[in-house]
């Protein structure tokens, strides 16, 4: 998946993480650092959602329409694992 929008968002997030690093180096106020980390986490969640939506609309649909039952089960299992891991965080 080569999505320019996702890549642009990741570059922005990278800049924000560098900003958090600078804040830590400069001994910024802890709550301000935490707020910036929360913003980075929210941005990463949006990227994750976008990638998942793309996966559901491409790979999952292809597998469901395909003739290989093992491939369908594999892809559905991956989706279940992702949702299970997300609930643990």
Class of domain 4-88: mainly alpha
CA 38 to chain centre: 14
CA 31 to chain centre: 24
CA 62 to chain centre: 22
Domain boundaries, the chain: 4-88
- In tens digits, the chain (89 residues) has pLDDT values of 678 999 999 999 999 999 999 999 999 999 999 999 999 999 999 999 999 999 999 988 999 899 999 999 999 999 999 888 888 86
CA dihedral 23, 51, 75, 57 (to 10 degrees): 170
- State pLDDT tens for residues 65-89: 999 999 999 999 999 998 888 888 6
Q: Rounded distance, CA 67 to CA 4, Å?
A: 32
Residue 75, Cβ density class (10 Å: 0-12 exposed, 13-18 middle, ≥19 buried): buried
């Amino acid at each position: 998946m080569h999505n320019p929008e996702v890549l642009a968002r990741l570059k922005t997030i990278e800049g924000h993480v560098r900003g958090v690093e600078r804040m830590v180096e400069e001994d910024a106020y802890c709550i301000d650092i935490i707020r910036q980390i929360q913003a980075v986490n929210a941005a990463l969640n949006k990227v994750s959602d976008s990638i998942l939506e793309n996966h559901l609309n491409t790979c999952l649909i292809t597998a469901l329409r395909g003739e290989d039952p093992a491939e369908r089960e594999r892809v559905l299992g991956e989706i279940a694992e992702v949702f299970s891991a997300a609930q643990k965080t």
